[in-house]
Structure 1
Amino acid sequence: DGVLLLLPRQNLFQEAEEFLYRFLPQKIIYLNQLLQEYSLNVADLTSLRDDEMETDKQEMKEVPKCGFLSRNEKVLFLLALVKPEVWSLKEKCILHLICKIEDGNDLGVAIQEKVLERVNAIKTKVEAFQTTISKYFSERRDAVAKASKETHVMDYRASVHQQDEAAYGELRAMVLDLRVYHISSGNLQKIVNPKGEEKPSMH
């Protein structure tokens, strides 16, 4: 019976070691490399504009009444990179790594509380990420529809470009937040026990 009781605990320790010593270092390296990619370091946001946006072209074409509605492949490419990382963070990290606050009022505890405050802020952003992306698609859809219908109204075209630039900023900020979260989790032992001693914890 004692052996059976120890098995779940051993499995938990193995999962924790796998997470801390393999998953987190690899993830931080990957996110650092991702942040070095040109696709996440675009200085001129106007370059994100879709070259195939039909309403920007002057020549006449025989088109359906709804017009040609094209997607912004550059933004979709970034979304395909970032979205799996967000879901991984939500499923593998946040649900299992909300730490306890140690009793006391020293500097270590103050640092711990700040880190946990940051972790919780990122948790909130992750939970809002899906809503943000859904809103991007719905708002861009409406803007493209109006731009296709009212091709002489330049504000509709500008609105489409603005949606793409805003989405790019959101995606890059999300990658930065993901990296911060993983780096914070990499110091989990110091966060959980900033005083370096065994003592009761309080939530």
Structure 2
Amino acid sequence: TIINLDPCLKLCCHVWSLNFRGLGLERPRKVDAFRERITAEAEDLVANFFPKKLLELDHFLKDPIINITELKEIHSEINLTVPDPILLSNLHDGLEAQNAKKRKLEDGGAEDMVTGTKVFVMPGGMMKSNANLVDLIEKVKPEIRTLIEKCNTVKMWVQLLIPRIEDGNNFGVSIQEETVAELRTVEGEAASYLDQISRYYITRAKLVSKIAKYPHVEDYRRTVTEIDEKEYISLKIIVSELRNQYVTLHDMILKNIEKIKRPRSSNADALY
């Protein structure tokens, strides 16, 4: 016996049970329990969790940590010193210059300025990440993961409410399918935010490696600060998008809740 369910969901479950029995099959009770749990959880997410989360993210957007106006405050020091220049004098003969280069390599010195410097140990110790951005990323990532998980639950709920395929009277079904498509889009966008964070770390690591190899090239150092500033702005945009997605999903589902729960009208309803 199915209890505490929406009337339409009860009807869908009853029809599904009849279909299984017609095939000589019985749906396991655990499946019914799973459907009940998903229904209760999804309805609570839409009614309570989504509004609560959008208000939390809206408050987070006003936090000073994400509203720094002077982006120089998020810069991190690059503790890689520029080595003293190597002066080559009185080397007129090409063979003599080649021998001088060989001696420098054997002495553990530097290669010529074109090929860069071989670095085996960082002179200033470990080159750390930008601490300000790492702290902000660690606060944003759980919010991204939460949105993905909650969207997946609501999407499963709507999919379970889709009735069997029939001719006609499919307007409500099309609304359910549009809702599922929107939830799937939000999931994909949230996953892309995680990819963006990974790309930031990879890009910055490559630039720092370039600085270690070519410490005398200032443009690499400037590029690191530009990457940090860009990531900071991107993180604020991500938080804003997360809030907007909660608002959009909450509004869309509530406006169409009747058709989502009850996609097809029943002829029996007209008798009462």
TM class by smaller structure: 0.7 to 0.9
Q: Is the 8 A contact 2:58 2:243 kept in 1?
A: yes
CA contact (8 A) 2:211 2:221 kept: yes
Q: Which has the larger radius of gyration?
A: 2
Q: 4, 21, 26: which is aligned to 2:52?
A: 26
Describe the superposition over 1:42-98 as per-residue Cα deviations: whole angstroms up to 9, x where unpaired: 222232211x3214x7899xxx84233121011101100000111111112245338
Q: Show the counterpart of 2:79.
A: 54
Cα distance in 1 for partners of 2:133, 2:68 equals: 12
Q: 1:91 matched to which residue of 2?
A: 149
Q: TM-score, normalised by structure 1?
A: 0.74
Q: Return closer, same or farther for 1:59/1:49 CA change in 2, 3 Å cut-off.
A: farther
Give distance in 2, aligned partners of 1:162 and 1:75: 13
Partner of 1:152, secondary structure, is coil
1:186 correspondence with 2:250:
yes
Q: How does 1:70-109 map to 2 (within 5 A)?
A: 70-94=128-152, 96-97=154-155, 103=171
CA distance in 1, matches of 2:43, 2:257: 15
Aligned residues: 189
- Percent identical among aligned pairs is 25
Deviation track 1:165-200 (CA, whole Å, cap 9, x = no partner) reads 121122111111110111122222214557x99543
Unpaired runs of 5+ residues, structure 1, are none
Amino acid at match of 1:66: M
d(CA) in 2 for partners of 1:147 and 1:97? 47
1:158 aligns with 2:184: no
Structure 1 window deviating more from structure 2 (17-26 vs 94-103): it is 94-103
**Aligned 8 A contact 1:119 1:181 in 2:** no
2:209 aligned to 140, 145, 150, which one?
145
Which amino acid is 2:133 matched to? Answer: V
Computed over aligned residues only, the root mean square deviation of the Cα atoms, in angstroms, reads 3.6
- Range 151-160 or range 93-102, more displaced: 93-102
Contact 2:82/2:215, CA 8 A, preserved across alignment? no
TM-score by length of 2: 0.57
Q: Which runs of 5+ in 2 are unaligned?
A: 4-28, 85-119, 163-169, 266-272
Aligned with 1:42: secondary structure? coil
Paired with 2:200 and 2:74, the residues of 1 have a C-alpha distance of 15
Aligned AA (1:53): I
